[in-house]
Structure 1
């Protein structure tokens, strides 16, 4: 199923059977509603890291940086919603711990009904799927209104971390270093990295690196673009440095990662745009 289509997947399908797809910090081109039904883990979202558990609902708007660290035994469903949908959705990330069993059952029933419509070939199945997802959006907004789900106040460091991660999807392909983000935010690189580390458990450089690695692996595995084009798209000054970077941070060269990719995932597409390389050109 395309990431840009309305639909339901299992958590395993969403991760494509590869842990890095969820564990590395990244953003997606669609809105995402995740419903966890078994297991535990941690989620990095909106500039801070929190624990995940059974009957947690997470809404991730498009272009929101997030990462999920879960065990293979964790189960759940994922609703992907394209940008531009007429559905009324929250405009910010939300993480809800749902304790009421009736409320849990309500969302579970909506997802099951949507899955049935998606798997069958009945007339107007897509219309029915949209209607079920519309009810999920109502469910989500009702829960957000509950007092128990009002987010806790953020510290100054957490607010800075949130502003930083909001910038990453817009700038990570430029090759800009942490100092660029710090200057834009009006702080020193050291202060920024300390704040991000305290809020997320990872440094600012770690999150930037993860976003680049995730994009690189996705392009290598899902497209036929030459590695040199992918390198230029991601702000690297040379294909050779891109190779060293991937060997260091992904444990394999671009050609090895492409050879190891699950078959059937590659597709032709327009060439990635070329960006003027900045920090990675001389790193």
Structure 2
């Protein structure tokens, strides 16, 4: 089952979400499902709302469908992820949230809820979908209670953080159009130089790097997961020609689109 198309809440490991390609998590992208992640081992990095965040043990992330994000859990990182149809779980916030959970009781509650969902889906029984939805609802209650306890007075985002977040929203909306960076800056009423500086400060990567990473994720997904011709993928992602698309892929992966597709097929 594809994590992006699960029709009921479903539990995965981060490794299963990556499906053999770490780029599926580490490049900027968005899911068509709501995503809850609970990390249990390792140290890594997450990009949420255009902001770079450290990722550690007992961190909870809620990433709504359509929100751009990336996660690098690190070499020793491990975590569980629940996907749910977009908007199906009452109370889940509609913008990304990261919680650092230090209370042992709260940690145990989250683990127990996820283990219950895991047991439910491991043993097919009648009303499995309804049971999965009930477990997801309980996880939503846990998340909201924990957020209120962990972040009772969360500081307002700075102007720079708001700008970086707004850029990721626009980038997710328009990354297939081939728009130049100047267009994004104009839509945000800032100069390209200022936008680049703000994204580098907040995310540790330039605005062009964020946009290019999003395009690369979509390109690799299309090459690996579909049989669509390279020329069609290039056209759908706003490239002026298949040759330009090929140079883009080679620059980032050192392989041509065709070679990248063959390598992925051979690895399955």
1:16 matched to 2:14: no
Q: Which residue of 2 aligns with 1:45?
A: 48
CA distance in 2, matches of 1:196, 1:240: 29
Post-superposition offset of 1:146: 2.1
Work out which of the residue numbers 139, 143, 146 in structure 2 matches 1:140.
143
CA distance in 2, matches of 1:15, 1:235: 26
Work out which of the residue numbers 205, 213, 216 in structure 2 matches 1:213.
216
Work out which of the residue numbers 229, 233, 238 in structure 1 matches 2:236.
233
Post-superposition offset of 1:80: 0.5
Q: Which moved more, 1:104-113 or 1:147-156?
A: 147-156
Q: Structure 1: where are the runs of 5+ without partners?
A: 266-283
CA distance in 1, matches of 2:160, 2:63: 22
CA distance in 1, matches of 2:118, 2:265: 25
CA distance in 2, matches of 1:229, 1:127: 40
Is the 1:143–1:149 Cα contact (8 Å) retained in structure 2? Answer: no
Q: Which residue of 2 aligns with 1:119?
A: 122
Q: Which moved more, 1:10-19 or 1:234-243?
A: 10-19
Secondary structure (helix, strand or coil) at the match of 2:124 reads coil
CA distance in 2, matches of 1:217, 1:109: 36
Work out which of the residue numbers 61, 69, 74 in structure 2 matches 1:71.
74
CA distance in 2, matches of 1:173, 1:11: 27
Is the 2:223–2:230 Cα contact (8 Å) retained in structure 1? Answer: yes
Instruction: Point out 4+ residue stretches in structure 1 off by more than 4 angstroms.
Output: 262-265
Post-superposition offset of 1:50: 1.0
User: Relative to structure 1, is the Cα distance of residues 94 and 32 closer, same or farther in structure 2, using a 3 angstrom cutoff?
Assistant: same
TM-score (structure 1 length as normaliser): 0.90
Post-superposition offset of 1:107: 0.8
Post-superposition offset of 1:138: 0.9
Number of residue pairs aligned between Structure 1 and Structure 2: 265
User: Relative to structure 1, is the Cα distance of residues 149 and 222 closer, same or farther in structure 2, using a 3 angstrom cutoff?
Assistant: farther
Q: Structure 2: where are the runs of 5+ without partners?
A: none
Work out which of the residue numbers 96, 100, 115 in structure 1 matches 2:103.
100
Deviations 1:11-70 (A, max 9, x none): 111111211111111111111000000111111111111111000000011111111122
1:26 matched to 2:29: yes
Deviations 1:228-278 (A, max 9, x none): 00000000111111101100122211101100114697xxxxxxxxxxxxx
Q: Which residue of 1 aligns with 2:161?
A: 158
CA distance in 2, matches of 1:139, 1:48: 25
